[in-house]
Amino acid sequence: MKKITTLSAVILCGLMDAQYCTPTFQYDAGSNMISNVTFGNINNNSTTNSSTVQEYEDFTSLATDLVAGNTYPISVKGPSSTFPSDVMVYIDFNGNGNFDDAGEGFYIGRLEAANPANAFTVDNTITVPANASGGSKRMRVLKNTNVLAYSDPNAENSIHSACDSGLRAGQTEDYTVNISGNNTSFPFPYCGAEGITSLTVSEISKVEFAGITNESQIDGNSSVIEDFTGTIFNASRGNAYPITVTGGTHGQTTVSAYAYIDFNHNNQFDADEKFNLGYLDASNPVSGHESGITSETITIPANALLGNTRFRLVKAYESNSWMGTLENLPCPSGWVIGQVEDYTINIQPEILSTAEVAKDKSIEIKIYPNPTHENITIRVKEGLEKYEIYTVAGQKISEGNSDTVNMNGFIPGTYLIKIQTKNKKIITEKVIKK
């Protein structure tokens, strides 16, 4: 293990003193402990003695070095006495003393039932965000038995947060990771201009999206890829946002604009993360320059990962002629006439509202008891298709299709329950857990 510097040691001491929450289990760790964690330089075997094992083990003296933007394999081993067990890993990347922020939780997998001597191992990878702040950070490994997974292999993850108070049986282990910044400049970790063989810069002059307008030079002297990642567009899952792009056309009619958004945070732009914004017209809105405008709409998918990610806008001349085939690609290559601008987009939870929608007189619904101490029952005349439960901040914490919802493990407070009927109507109501 690499020696921790004096500064890192000071930060580490502060982390160990931080008031991180501790999950609680209905039963003890027993035969459901974590027996090994392997991650970077950490390869820690812990006790499998059911009579001495603790629900929480502090291994923050064990650390590994990580580089922002890199991906690392992780494996977690442990028995699961009767029911399969879920494994989550949390890393406090921003060092704010909790694991609640977007991008700080990783589902590693599900361990099948086995005794300690024959325990299984789950493997996965963890990608450190390219913008993760440097220093020593707390890492939490959390394991919990999943009763529903005994009969349903597709049962949802039983761990809802790093501080879950409704866990059944398992264990928590805390470690330390030391994060250093990457040595690669913008647009890392995304591709840059390395694939371009011949270039004419034809600039984007204005972008209007999600309530923000960004204007830039149109004089032919700009960089082929401009860094506007300090400009953050805020957008919510499931919502549609108009976008308008203005820029140079060099008098051509086939200058297209495309937006690319890394919704799954895998540091590349996949085929389903592409938006065709159309061709710029010949309206010439930039005085003294041949320029045009195009407008379209970008809809944020309901399954987009929350938090900040890269938004890339590419404007390029397309053709199939003596110059060859020129395409508008997320990673420019070959002969290019155009420009790329990179932004940041902050994907936020779906905007939920309890107003008006539940007042549809054609929908007959009852949710009781409300407030509740444990369970609620849903009665919908049209039939229940599914439900989803959210915190008031918009974080989804549970879902299912049963008309009885177990809220026993929920922290007392107000929640939003989104109900979809068999005839595809959506209703959102408040539920209070005492």
Whether 11 has a pLDDT exceeding 60, the answer reads no
Residue 176's pLDDT is what? Answer: 96
CATH of the domain at 93: 2.70.50.30
Q: Is the pLDDT of residue 320 over 70?
A: yes
Which of 180, 205, 222 is where one domain is finished? 180
CATH code of residue 224? 2.60.40.770
Same-domain check for residues 63 and 153: yes
- Average pLDDT of 202-221? 93
Asked whether residue 267 falls in the same domain as residue 387, the answer is no
| Number of structural domains the chain divides into | 3
Q: In this structure, is residue 186 part of a structural domain?
A: no
Tokens of 115: 């005794």
- In this predicted structure, what is the pLDDT of residue 13? 40
Contact 141, 101 (CB under 8 A): no
The pLDDT of residue 245: 97
Position 148 in a domain: yes
Task: Note whether residue 185 is domain-resident.
Answer: no
Q: What is the pLDDT of residues 415-434, one digit of tens each?
A: 888 888 888 777 888 888 88
Residue 190 lies in a domain: no
CA 404, CA 381: separation in Å to the nearest integer? Answer: 15
- Residue 167 sits in the same domain as residue 249: no
* Residues 174 and 35 occupy one common structural domain: yes
- If you average pLDDT over every residue of the chain, what do you get? 87
* Higher-confidence position of 229 and 353: 229
Task: Kindly state the tokens that stand for 161.
Answer: 């947060």
Average pLDDT for 328-341:
92
Indicate whether 292 and 220 sit together in one domain: yes
Decide which of 78 and 382 is more confident: 78
Q: What is the dihedral of CA 321, 324, 325, 331, to 10 degrees?
A: -140
Report pLDDT digits (tens) over 353-389: 444 333 445 568 889 998 988 899 999 888 898 998 8
- The domain in which residue 409 lies consists of 357-433
Residue 427 falls inside a structural domain: yes
Does 55 have pLDDT greater than 90?
yes
How far apart CA 233 and CA 1 sit, in angstroms, is: 41
pLDDT, greater one: 333 or 322: 333
Q: Are residues 170 and 229 in the same domain?
A: no
Examine the domain organization and report whether 156 and 223 are in the same domain. Answer: no
Contact 347, 309 (CB under 8 A): yes
Question: How confident is the model over 174-191, as pLDDT tens digits?
Answer: 999 999 876 667 898 899
pLDDT in tens, 242-280: 999 999 998 889 999 999 999 998 889 999 999 999 999
Residue 86 has pLDDT above 90, yes or no: yes
Which pTM value belongs to this model?
A: 0.49
Both 233 and 321 in one domain: the answer is yes
Residues 94 and 172 in one domain: yes
Q: Please say which residue of 180, 207, 230 terminates a domain.
A: 180
Provide CB contacts within 8 A for 124, sequence distance 6+.
73, 74, 75, 106, 107, 108, 109
Residue 221 lies in a domain: yes
Tell me the mean pLDDT in the region 87-102.
90
264 and 228 within one domain: yes
**Which contiguous run of DSSP H or E holds residue 199?**
strand 195-201
What is the chain's alpha carbon radius of gyration, rounded to the nearest angstrom?
Answer: 26
Q: Tell me, yes or no, whether 189 lies in a domain.
A: no
Q: What percentage of the chain has pLDDT greater than the value 90?
A: 56
Decide if 267 is inside a domain.
yes
How far apart, in whole angstroms, are the C-alpha atoms of residue 160 and residue 407? 12
User: Does 205 score more than 80 pLDDT?
Assistant: yes
